[in-house]
Amino acid sequence: MQPKRRLCVLRLLLPLMISLLAACAGKVEVQGDFPQPLVDQKNLVVGLVDNPKFYNFQYEEKSKDRLKWTIGTGGAQQKLLSTVVGAMFKQVEPLKKIPKAGSPAPVDLVLLPRVKEFQYAMPRETKVNIFEVWIKYSIQIYDNQGALVADWIMPAYGKTPTAFLKSEEDALNQAVMMALRDAGASFITGFERVPEIKAWLALPRAPITQPRHPAPTLPDDEETL
C-alpha cells in the first residue's frame, strides 16, 4: 500500500477507534422538570439543610465487569426537592447546618436529605427490555433544636422501556427521572404516615415566631451530612 493511501486509511479508522473506546464509558447528567404537585399544604415552617453531597450527587460505576457509567442526579434532585417541599409546607427556609440545642432555628422541622444507595440495570444485563434505576434516600427529620425526630429510609424506583433509535443516555435519564418522580410521590403520600413524624405532628406546639435576625448556626461536622 502506498504511504499516502495508508495515511488516508488511518485517518478514516482513527475516529472509528476513538468512538469504539468511548463506547466503553458513558456519562449522564440527569435533566428534566417536575410538575407542581397536588398536595394539601401543611402549616409548617421547614428548614432545608444545605447538603452539597446531595445537590452534587454523582454515581460512578466502580465494578470492573460493567461499563464505566457516570450518572449525575444532584441537579435534578435539588429541583425535585424544591418543587415538592415548596408545595408541601407553608414556608421553606434554607439552613447551613442542623441547629443545636442552644441555638434553635426559627422553623418547626428541619430536613436533611441524603442518598444512601444508587443502583441501575441495563437491558443487556437483565435480558429484559427495560432500563431500571433504584435510589435509596435517607430523609433525616430534626426538630428546631436539632433532636432527631425520624430517619426515614425512602426507596425510589424508575424504569423505562428500550426504544428504537433511543440512546442509552436518554433511556437512563428517563429512568432516573421516573425514579425521582417516584421519590416525590413517596415523600408526598408517605410523610404523615411515618410513625415518628405522625407522633410529632400530634404534639401540641406554639406557632413559630420569626426573629428579626436569625440566630447564627454553629459550624457542624461535615461527616454528619
Closest approach, Cβ 88 to another protein, in A, equals: 11
Identify which of residues 140 and 174 has a Cβ nearer to another protein in the complex.
Answer: 174
Task: Give the whole-angstrom CA distance, residue 7 versus residue 3.
Answer: 6
- From residue 132, alpha-carbon distances to 124, 150, 160, 166, 168 in Å are 12, 29, 7, 15, 12
Identify which of residues 108 and 182 has a Cβ nearer to another protein in the complex.
Answer: 182
Closest approach, Cβ 101 to another protein, in A, equals: 36
The residues of the shown chain that bind another protein, judged by CB under 8 A, are 1, 5, 9, 34-39, 128-130, 157, 159-161, 163, 178, 181-182, 184-186, 188-189
Identify which of residues 13 and 218 has a Cβ nearer to another protein in the complex.
Answer: 13
> Three-state secondary structure along 26-45?
EEEECCCCCCCCCCCCEEEE
Closest approach, Cβ 154 to another protein, in A, equals: 12
Closest approach, Cβ 138 to another protein, in A, equals: 19
Closest approach, Cβ 33 to another protein, in A, equals: 9
Which residue type does 203 have?
L
- Residue in 214, 224, 218 with CA at minimum distance from that of residue 105: 214
Closest approach, Cβ 92 to another protein, in A, equals: 18
What are the φ and ψ backbone dihedral angles of 63, each rounded to 5 degrees? -65, 140
Identify which of residues 97 and 181 has a Cβ nearer to another protein in the complex.
Answer: 181
Closest approach, Cβ 189 to another protein, in A, equals: 6
Identify which of residues 14 and 163 has a Cβ nearer to another protein in the complex.
Answer: 163
Pinpoint the alpha helices (H) of the chain: 3-22, 52-55, 74-88, 123-126, 168-190, 195-202
Q: Which cell goes with 5?
A: 493511501
Contacts of 142 (CB under 8 A, 6+ apart): 98, 99, 109, 110, 112, 148, 149
Q: Which is it for strands 130-143 and 148-161: parallel, antiparallel or unpaired?
A: antiparallel
Identify which of residues 88 and 110 has a Cβ nearer to another protein in the complex.
Answer: 88
Identify which of residues 36 and 209 has a Cβ nearer to another protein in the complex.
Answer: 36
Task: Give the whole-angstrom CA distance, residue 168 versus residue 174.
Answer: 10
